[in-house]
Amino acid sequence: MKPNLIVQKFGGTSVGNIDRIKNVARKVAKAREEGKDVVVVVSAMAGETDKLLKLAHEITENPNRREIDLLLSSGERISSALLTLALNEIGCPAVSLTGRQLGLLTDNTHTRARIKEISGQRAKKILEQNHVVVVAGFQGINEHGDVTTLGRGGSDTSAVALAVALDAERCEIFTDVDGVYTADPNMVPDARKLDHVSFEEMLEMASLGAKVLQIRSVEFARNFNMPIVVRSSYNEVDGTLVSEEDPTMEQPVVSGVMYDKNQSKITLSKVPDQPGIAAKIFCTLAEAGLSIDMIIQNVSAENHTDISFTLPTTHVAEAMPIMRGIVGEIHACEVSEDCDISKVSIVGAGMRSHPGVAAKMFRALSDENINIMMISTSEIRVSCVIEKKYTELAVRVIHKEFGLENEQVQEESETRSPPERKAASS
């Protein structure tokens, strides 16, 4: 490990205007004064990526993804050059690098490319000259030399992958909230900042809707054991450490409540209850590159059943024609879509050893008369599909039910046995 090297990533709002860019420059300069070698990764200025996408959609409904990548990568080029100017202006020597100049090689999947390799040679040389390296996040190049981007929120992944490639001490993600919270702090005013979250929990949280970190960045961090600190760009408050689970520490039963409004449900009704039908439906979807989340199949009546599954709303337009084709082939009755749903989930490593957690979540929802349409669980997660209009209410009541606003209150509930309760309060 290079002990003095840190990677600092600043998100869109943190570089949203010139004053904020100057603020970032001061933060970076301070880290340097404290003796750190610093590599900075920046996002595009807030709203810039959406603005560029909108421009493309004003020209065509279905823009070419290669061209979209070139277009979107310009947002991060602008912010990296502006921050570099700001750093040099306050006497902190810095050099900017695009994804290409950094040597960040990806696969060929335009708009959601995966990182294959980061050469890092150029960055190392700049660091040796005692300069700060400012990297344009979210972008790389593929084997043909074409610009690719890493999917929305992808600068987080650029930063963690770069921290791994350069063998940094840690990766700091500076954003517009003080850290990872028990729920989206912009939705739940009582949400509490967590001091520590394990990689496993953070992976679940990110995949269930906590957009504070892109999922792939957490995968990188876990696979290479790179600690991440999520913290605010606007104050010095200690953030949240995302790192390996500490086996000697008691894990909270529930660490957080997440929601995802970008989910829809597709239902095939009166499907013949025969071997091979589910395989046919889901293989066809997989071949089209559509990832499915929850699946439920009803009890069979008169040799027919209903099958429902959820997928991101952005994939519905692609999935529906495929499903209509299948309905004809397998002689099912009909296919329908429901975009008015959302998924609400709880995550907690301590769930592994505590029964009754799911029941408690269901009770909180039923007390508010919120109907649960689908349920899925993993070792450290419970997810429920509900009507979209109840999302905020559901997140708040579940948060309250588990006492997440107060540290360790959830440990006093009936989910914990008496000896463990004693250990937790000592």
CA distances from 410 to 67, 121, 247, 281, 332 (A): 50, 49, 20, 41, 46
Q: Does 139 bind ligand ASP (CB under 6 A)?
A: no
Q: Does 16 bind ligand ASP (CB under 6 A)?
A: no
| DSSP state, residue 355 | T
- The closest of 180, 193, 174 to 38, measured between CA atoms, is 174
Report the nearest approach of ligand ASP to the CB of residue 76 (Å).
6
The SS3 of residue 300 is: coil
Q: Name the residue type at position 52.
A: L
Q: Does 240 bind ligand ASP (CB under 6 A)?
A: no
Q: Which range binds Mg ion by CB under 5 A, 152-160, 276-284, 325-333, 362-370?
A: 152-160
Nearest-angstrom CA–CA distance, 272 and 331? 7
Number of H helices, E strands in the chain: 13, 18
Among 8, 49, 182, 383, binds ligand ASP (CB under 6 A): 49
Report the nearest approach of Mg ion to the CB of residue 156 (Å).
6
In the bound state with ligand ASP, the residue whose beta carbon lies nearer, of 18 and 333, is 18
Q: Does 75 bind ligand ASP (CB under 6 A)?
A: yes
Nearest-angstrom CA–CA distance, 298 and 247? 40
**Which does residue 138 bind out of Mg ion, ligand ASP, ligand ADP, none, counting CB within 5 to 8 angstroms by kind?**
ligand ASP
Nearest-angstrom CA–CA distance, 137 and 79? 10
Binding site for ligand ADP (CB under 6 A): 11-14, 43, 153, 175-177, 180-181, 183-186, 210-212, 256
Among 7, 92, 138, 396, binds ligand ASP (CB under 6 A): 138
Counting every residue written for the chain, the total comes to 426
Q: What stretches of 256-306 show up as alpha helix (H) in DSSP?
A: 277-287
The SS3 of residue 212 is: coil
In the bound state with ligand ASP, the residue whose beta carbon lies nearer, of 44 and 166, is 44
Among 99, 137, 140, 153, binds Mg ion (CB under 5 A): 153
For ligand ASP, the binding residues (CB under 6 A) are 11-12, 43-44, 49, 75, 137-138, 152-156
For Mg ion, the binding residues (CB under 5 A) are 11, 153
